[in-house]
Amino acid sequence: MDNLILISVSLLDDHDKNPRVVLRDDVVSAIESQLKSDGFKPQHALHVRKIGDRFQILSGHHRKRAAINAGVESVWCWVDEMDDEAAFMALVTSNAQGELDPLEIGIHAFEAVPIAKGGRGKKGGLSEYAEKIGKSESYLRQVKDAGEVAANLAVNCEVYLGKAQHLAAIRQADRTIWPMLCERLIAKKWTVDETRDVVAKSKGFIDAVPSGKYDGWLPFNLVFERYVDTREFAPTTVANLVKQADYTVAMITSKSTDPSELISEYEAWLVENAGDASWDLRKLKERHQEIESELESKHDTIWNHGPWQDYIDALSDGSVSLLLTDPPYGMDYQSGYRKQKHDEIANDGKDSALAVFQECAARMFCKMKVNSHALVFCHWSNE
């Protein structure tokens, strides 16, 4: 440190990245009491750096607050020259680390390590950071995970002091549920083990919810929140909901002449009723039955009976639910039970019978609906 000088409290600015989540009132009060009786001594000096005409505090935020409360106008300060990165590191190295909560160290580590250009085990990486502040790399890795979660919360982190292990566990969950898990760990007073168990279970829900397919209906974060709050859901429950919805869409496709509009209406119903009816498997099945009944009531069955060549040109593509055929069997059959025999059945030779059926099947294929049926009568020998 270069200079020990007396500086007006009005010229001292807190560092905007001070890792302290909140100043400790008990610490401020103790210092304030001492200042009122003994005054501000050089041994109480703050550590600062000069920026323009003002000074930025690196160590001594509690002492500044206590001085203001005690009515002290000027305080002793050690003044250093350092760049932004060195000043940022000094926020941890200049403070008595016993006064910093592990989460506060983690928040600082999360901010500090990405600044470095090196990687793990290299200059500027986590190993060097751990060496600088006198902590093990494994410890730093855990609290840094906790610091990343805290840095992404849009709330005051004071309630999470003492919860570094909890937040480190939450770091392993999908990022979209971090805020919800952090809120619940405070509300439900989870232990570290309980937090880890909930995070582990969240991974099963990720596999159960198809990504991108039903995001509006079954958003992962809301589905898992339902599980956390009620324990009603399980990954198998969600998978069954998806299976039922897929089944309903397939049914609409096979039974509707214009399925796209009806499918869109069904998917809109799923989204509108998310969290309620469409998250209830029983009600989802009831909705399926309602749609199926509506389709069947509107469906007029038309039977075309006779040679297929008489009807095929009038049939629309994808309009036929059932093709029921009684083609020649390919047996060269001729009745022998009468004195006067019937004529042989036309096209009943094996090759000609197959050719007739192949022509019919080829031309009828595009006329058939998805999941339609074809029933073909034939003789076992030519099956």
Instruction: Give domain limits for the chain.
Output: 3-157, 220-298, 308-382
* Cross-strand bridge partners of residue 80: 49
Neighbours of 39 (CB within 10 A): 10
Alpha-carbon distance 353 to 378, whole Å? 10
Rg (CA), the chain: 39
Alpha-carbon distance 54 to 12, whole Å? 6
Alpha-carbon distance 320 to 31, whole Å? 89
Which burial class, exposed, middle or buried, applies to 150 when counting CB atoms under 10 A from its CB (0-12, 13-18, 19+)?
buried
Helix (H) or strand (E) holding 3: strand 3-8
Q: What pLDDT sits at residue 122?
A: 45
Coil vs helix vs strand at 332 = coil
Q: Which two tokens stand for residue 81?
A: 């020259």
Task: Please tell us whether the domain made up of 3-157 is placed in CATH 2.20.28.120.
Answer: no
Q: What pLDDT sits at residue 242?
A: 93
Q: What pLDDT sits at residue 299?
A: 62
- Helices 220-230 and 178-187 cross at an angle (nearest 10°) of 10
CB 248 within 8 A of CB 287: yes
How many CA atoms, within 13 angstroms, populate the side-chain half-sphere of residue 109? Answer: 33
Alpha-carbon distance 35 to 72, whole Å? 8
Alpha-carbon distance 255 to 371, whole Å? 9
Residue type, 268: A
Q: Which two tokens stand for residue 323?
A: 């093709």
Give the angle 146-148-153 at the CA atoms, nearest 5°.
100
CB 144 within 8 A of CB 92: no
Close Cβ partners of 69 (under 8 Å, ≥ 6 residues apart): 28, 32
pTM above 0.85, yes or no: no
Q: How far is CA 307 from the centre of its chain?
A: 58
* Cross-strand bridge partners of residue 4: 78
CB 48 within 8 A of CB 15: no
Task: Name the phi and psi angles at 341, rounded to 5.
Answer: -70, 150
Task: Name the phi and psi angles at 46, rounded to 5.
Answer: -80, 160
Q: What pLDDT sits at residue 120?
A: 45
Q: What pLDDT sits at residue 156?
A: 77
pLDDT tens digits for the chain (383 residues)? 568 999 999 999 998 888 777 778 888 898 889 888 888 988 889 999 999 999 999 988 889 999 999 999 999 999 999 998 888 888 887 655 457 889 988 988 888 886 544 444 444 588 888 888 888 889 999 999 999 999 888 777 888 999 999 999 999 999 999 999 999 999 999 999 999 999 999 988 888 877 777 889 999 889 999 999 988 888 999 999 999 999 999 999 988 878 999 999 999 999 999 999 999 999 999 999 999 988 877 766 677 888 888 888 888 888 888 999 877 777 666 666 666 776 777 776 777 778 888 888 899 899 888 888 999 888 777 77
E strand spans, the chain? 3-8, 12-13, 46-51, 54-59, 74-80, 320-325, 368-376
Q: What is the DSSP letter of 365?
A: G
Strands 54-59 and 320-325: unpaired
Alpha-carbon distance 108 to 58, whole Å? 13
